[in-house]
Structure 1
Amino acid sequence: MSFDDLRKAPALGCHLPEVAPVSVAAIPSRYCLFDDGVISVMYAPFDHINPDARIMILGITPGLQQTRIAFETAILMRGENQQLIGMEVKRRAAFAGAMRANLISMLDELRVAPLLGIESTADLFSSRIDLLHSTSALRYPVFKRGVNYSGHSPKLTQHPFLVAMLDQLLAPELAAVPKALIVPLGKAVESALRYLVSQGQLSRERCLYGFPHPSGANAHRRCTFESQKDKLSAAAMAWLGSCAPTWP
């Protein structure tokens, strides 16, 4: 698929495989969007957008496990309304386990919940999922030599196809959810947002820069969070505490 055809990728969701792939090699070749021998990009049904969300949690890219869950869900719901399928894919695949618990803990410490009119940000993953848009800087799964891409070597903003994904997929997606505060998970994701800000495609005020990655493997998470806590809390209040303007 050429750089200019990226926006046509969602059409691939109309032709699902019979079974969900359990490895990168098992993903049908028709879903390959790009492959240069190092970086490969595969389609998976992560196209749902919640335009009314007030908070957006932004990971780097869906991993193999999320990809499998997305295909399993879409195959199970084959024939149902595409909007419902997209919502369920996001609900099942988004930030599970210890990562979700750490994410909720940090957001609650920043007092994001009362700004959204809820008791805890845990509600975003259950009764108030209507307030959440979970997505990735690189919407479709990216792999480096067959393993999950981490955002480094090459850097996300230094690879032509990955930059095209930011310009053609992420920028319009962020614009489609204009009232949402954006929570980037980690420095690589933050670099993607800074790139879009530098290109005039995103408002800096929407971005919760400095939010640490909630992974349990991030040994510096707590220390980083404490050092950034006041700034993060003020940024969340500034955006969510007012009527968010439409951007651009």
Structure 2
Amino acid sequence: MKSQLNSYLYALHSLSIPLGKEDLLTRNFLIEKTGDIEMYYAPHNEYINKEAKVVLAGITPGWTQMKAAYEEVLRGVEKKHSNDQILCDAKQAAGFSGTIRKNLTDMLDQCGLPETLGIESSLSLFQQYRPLLHTTSIIKYPVFISGKNYTGHHPAIDHSPLLSRYAYQEFAKELEHIGSKALVIPLGKTAEKVCRILLETENPPGHYFLFGFPHPSGANGHRLKQFHQNKEEMENIIKDWGSRVF
């Protein structure tokens, strides 16, 4: 996949840390607008870790992740890093950053993922074991509805040609770039629905899917209930995946 970063470097040179919405949610970084839906460029979901064993797939990057990615890019540009290095660093800085990461890794720990991978904790996937992990979203670029983070509901992905194209075409292409037998974990029911449809129609090559995992956002009030309802089944899927892959 060809990087889009070069197209935005000129606009980036006028920015400085810390960044606000008035800096990034502008025409300079707007990819497409249709009705109340606005999609903006953000660099952190361009980099693909083709050797990943675990793929975490959210709905779309939120403002927190977008801001973290751009600030990391500015640091990389200042240090004259290569585009590949900049994109990799942006991915590491922004992938499920903030409190969402703690909720996510706590649940992964309880499902037994570290034991299957032979690592000490799921948090270490974001640290020293980062080569095992690929973080992404079914809609790779940040989407805002009337300036607010898109949550996957209004409108439904299937009701928007723009969102459907990214979910069912671009995301499917991304999975094809990752080596077979990765454990793909869609976060929440919206991401899970997309993955189930892809399995029915595209059949992503050789990957395993962990269904039933709740979206780890603190705003998801049903997170813990859903997790405990599905925990035993998810543990078994992870164990089965591990026995076939390692």
**TM-score, scaled relative to structure 2:** 0.88
- 1:210 aligned onto 2:216: no
Structure 1 residue 235 displacement after superposition: 1.4
Aligned amino acid, residue 40 of structure 1: E
Work out the CA distance in 2 between the residues paired with 1:165 and 1:132.
21
3-state SS of paired residue (2:135):
strand
Residue of structure 1 in register with 2:143 after alignment: 142
- Residues 66 and 29 of structure 1, relative CA distance in 2, 3 Å threshold: same
Aligned amino acid, residue 211 of structure 2: Y
User: How far does the alpha carbon of each residue in 1:33-67 deviate from its partner, in whole angstroms, 9 at most, with x for none?
Assistant: 21112111111112011111111111111112211
Contact 1:171 1:201 in 2 (8 A): no
Between stretches 186-195 and 136-145, larger displacement belongs to: 186-195
Work out the CA distance in 1 between the residues paired with 2:144 and 2:170.
18
- 1:193 aligned onto 2:195: yes
Work out the CA distance in 2 between the residues paired with 1:19 and 1:234.
48
Work out the CA distance in 2 between the residues paired with 1:72 and 1:167.
29
- 1:157 aligned onto 2:164: no
Structure 1 residue 183 displacement after superposition: 1.2
User: How far does the alpha carbon of each residue in 1:214-245 deviate from its partner, in whole angstroms, 9 at most, with x for none?
Assistant: 2223222222111111111111222232138x
- 1:19 aligned onto 2:15: yes
Q: 1:39 aligns with which of 37, 40, 43?
A: 37
RMSD: 2.3
- 1:76 aligned onto 2:71: no
Give matches, 1:104-183, under 5 Å.
Answer: 104-178=105-179, 179-183=181-185
Work out the CA distance in 1 between the residues paired with 2:178 and 2:37.
29
Aligned amino acid, residue 173 of structure 1: E
Residue of structure 2 in register with 1:227 after alignment: 229
Work out the CA distance in 1 between the residues paired with 2:214 and 2:165.
26
Q: Structure 1 stretches (4+) deviating beyond 3 angstroms?
A: 6-11, 13-16, 24-28
Contact 2:185 2:211 in 1 (8 A): yes
Structure 1 residue 158 displacement after superposition: 2.4
- Residues 157 and 10 of structure 1, relative CA distance in 2, 3 Å threshold: farther
Aligned amino acid, residue 108 of structure 1: D
Structure 1 residue 22 displacement after superposition: 1.5
Name structure 2 gaps, 5 residues minimum.
none
Aligned amino acid, residue 212 of structure 2: G
Q: How many residues align?
A: 239
Structure 1 residue 136 displacement after superposition: 0.9
Contact 1:61 1:139 in 2 (8 A): yes
Aligned amino acid, residue 65 of structure 1: T
Structure 1 residue 187 displacement after superposition: 0.9
Between stretches 149-158 and 202-211, larger displacement belongs to: 202-211
- Residues 62 and 198 of structure 1, relative CA distance in 2, 3 Å threshold: same
Aligned amino acid, residue 187 of structure 1: K
Contact 2:184 2:207 in 1 (8 A): no
**TM-score, scaled relative to structure 1:** 0.87
3-state SS of paired residue (1:241):
helix
Work out the CA distance in 1 between the residues paired with 2:211 and 2:11.
37
Contact 1:193 1:202 in 2 (8 A): no
User: How far does the alpha carbon of each residue in 1:92-151 deviate from its partner, in whole angstroms, 9 at most, with x for none?
Assistant: 112233322221121111111121121111110111111111111110111111111000
Name structure 1 gaps, 5 residues minimum.
1-5
Contact 1:12 1:43 in 2 (8 A): no
Aligned amino acid, residue 104 of structure 1: T
